[in-house]
Structure 1
Amino acid sequence: MSSVMETVNSRTQLAGQNRLELLLFRFNESQVYGINVFKVREVLKCPKLNVLPMSHSVVCGVANVRGVSIPILDLALATGLPGVEDIDNAYVIITEYNNKTQGFLVSAVEHIVNLNWEEIHPPPKGSGLDNYLTAVTRVGEHLVEIIDVEKVLAEVSPVCEEISQGVIPPQTQVAAAHWRVLTVDDSAVARKQVTRCLESVGVQVVSLKDGREALEYLRTLLDAGKRPDEEFLMMISDIEMPEMDGYTLTAEVRNDPRMQQLYIVLHTSLSGAFNQAMVKKVGADDFLAKFRPDDLAGRVVDRIASLTPA
């Protein structure tokens, strides 16, 4: 398994080129699934699991990995499928989402594939609103499904969505009513979280599901003689999205003189140090880790204050 993961740390050059790498894995059946390598810390044979009393039904237990206790989730069970059957021969994918570390129990881990985000597509429309997919792609003869991990984690360990008292000054809510914010995220759960947070601040929200859709929307505004920076207080964009990622979306906006003044915040569950460098590279104004309601609301409050006459 070390041969699968030994090159993970050398993948950062793909970012900003609308490319990604997926680690492919399976549950009990032949269906292939994928997870972005940037979210993966390591892959290992399933270690000894200690039962965690009163835990969620999809939490298999807690494993001690290099001196750290990490919850292990049966990802198949979490998405409505039969749980992994042969735990003794299973693998665990250790991941980091939203500054939290957890392991996903899977039956088999295969290999890493290098793809363009344009090859990653939204789930078929007939898959329903309650599916656990953010995207699909094809690798050779296999249809690869990319699971909406943010939805899984929101169900297993919900985050607090309440904004702390005092974060939103009363005068800001009055000024906020005159502003709109454009949000871009492929996860339905994340879109709802962000929308509820922003509406609590008082702004209106336009929510889109990927970078390609957002870029086409902005170009439609331009064709109508409207300036995006006058239409929107800011654009808050996820990074990992089918069709076009947030880095590429930002670079496209910055390369168009008519959109260069649009304020852009990249909002992602990817770890922070690397993203801080990418923010500067692609020309975004700010970076924010998911999902911290106070921080998100605070960014909007500060932006409104900077544009509101004293």
Structure 2
Amino acid sequence: MAGVMDSVNQRTQLVGQNRLELLLFRLGGQQLYGINVFKVKEVLQCPSLNAIPQRNRVVRGVAHIRGNTVSIIDMNLSIGRKPLDDIENCFVIITEYNRSTQGFLVRGVERIVNMHWEEIHPPPTGAGKDNYLTAVTEVDGQLVEIIDVEKILAEVSPISEEVSPGIIEDGIAERIVQKHVLIVDDSAIARKQVQRVVESMGIKTTLKKDGREAIQYLNSMLEEGLDPNSELIMVISDIEMPEMDGYTFTAEVRSNPALKDLTVVLHTSLSGVFNESMVKKVGADDFMAKFNPDELARRVNDRVLQISGESLLEEPLEAVG
């Protein structure tokens, strides 16, 4: 299985080309699932697990891997199905999401496929609001489901969305009454996390689920005679999204003379392997690793002060990687 991940470090070159590579895996049946290789650190046979008291029921235990203690989450159990059995013959996909490392227990790992984000689509509308899918695609005539890992992690280990005292300037919302923040993310959980932080500041939000939908929204504003530069405080966009990723979205914004001055902040769980040069290449204004409500509120707060002429933005946060 080590051979599957041999060239992960070389795969970052796909970033910025609206392409990705999916690691395909199976859980309890024949259904294929996928996870972006960019999130994967390694794949290994399930190691010996140690039970921990009062753990979440989907956490099968912890393992000592490369000198670190890693929680092993049963992916099948996480999406409402039966726990995987015979786990000593299962595999663990070690990933990095939202500044932390975790392992996902799966039945078997298949292969890596190279795809274009335009081939990745949002879940069918009939899937319901509580499904665990963030996207779907097709490989060799077979449906591949991409699970909303951020939803799983939010349920396993909820993150506080409270902003610390002193971060938000008093009366910040009154400075930009008619303006709003555009939030772009394919994960419903991630969208809501950002929305709750921004709206706790008294600021309006508009939500879009991928880069293509966001571009269409911005273009529709222009067609209606509205100036997005005047209407929007900023755009906070994920990088990994179906149809059009955050890098391609940012590049599209910068290539349009009517949109090129929009403030775009990339907000992503790709923290461990983030390529700072890509942010500069596509012209994003800043990068934030998910999810820190204080950092998020500070960036919005400082942007509002900049708009109102009361402050300059602080130095951009350092990219992680």
Using the size of structure 2 for normalisation, the TM-score is 0.95
Q: Secondary structure at the match of 2:219?
A: helix
| 3-state SS in 1 of match to 2:260 | coil
Name the counterpart of 1:235: 235
Residue in structure 2 matched with residue 94 of structure 1 by the alignment: 94
SS in 1 for 2:172: helix
Q: In the alignment, is the contact (CA less than 8 A) between 2:229 and 2:261 conserved in 1?
A: yes
Partner Cα distance (1:214, 1:230) in 2: 16
C-alpha distance in 2 between matches for 1:128 and 1:212: 22
Aligned to 2:204: 204
1:171 aligned counterpart, secondary structure:
coil
Aligned to 1:147: 147
Task: Quote the residue 2:291 is aligned against.
Answer: 291
Q: What pairs up with 1:103-122 in 2 under 5 angstroms? A: 103-122=103-122
- Matches of residues 158-177 of structure 1 in structure 2 within 5 Å? 158-177=158-177
In the other structure, the counterpart of 2:17 is 17
Same amino acid, percent of matched pairs: 61
Deviation at 1:208, TM superposition (A): 0.6
Structure 1 letter corresponding to 2:243:
E
Query: How many angstroms apart in 2 are the aligned matches of 1:175 and 1:308?
Result: 7
Work out the CA distance in 2 between the residues paired with 1:273 and 1:81: 31
Q: What residue in structure 2 maps to residue 27 of structure 1?
A: 27
Residue 276 of structure 2 corresponds to: 276
> Under a length normalisation based on structure 1, what TM-score does the superposition of the two structures give?
0.98
Query: After TM superposition, which residue ranges in structure 1, 4 or more long, deviate above 3 angstroms?
Result: none
For 2:259 and 2:307, how far apart are their aligned partners in 1? 18
Is residue 2:185 matched to residue 1:185?
A: yes
Q: Which runs of 5+ in 1 are unaligned?
A: none
Offset, 1:225:
2.0
Q: Which amino acid aligns with 1:43?
A: V
- Kept in 1, the 8 Å contact 2:25–2:108? The answer is yes
Matched, 1:218 2:218: yes
- Residue deviations 1:201-251, cap 9 Å, x none? 121101111111001111111112222111101010011111100000000
8 Å CA contact 2:50, 2:63 repeated in 1: yes
Q: Residue 307 of structure 1: CA displacement? A: 1.4
Deviates more, 1:221-230 or 1:284-293: 221-230
Aligned alpha-carbon RMSD (Å): 1.0
Q: Deviations over 1:111-152 (max 9, x none)?
A: 100000000001111111100000000000210000000000
Q: Is the 8 A contact 2:168 2:201 kept in 1?
A: yes
Partner SS, residue 57 of structure 2: coil
| Aligned length in residues | 310
Inter-CA distance 224–176: structure 2 relative to 1 (3 Å threshold): closer
How much does 1:85 deviate? 1.5
Distance 1:141 1:86, change over 3 A: farther
Stretches of structure 2 that go unaligned for 5 or more consecutive residues are 311-321
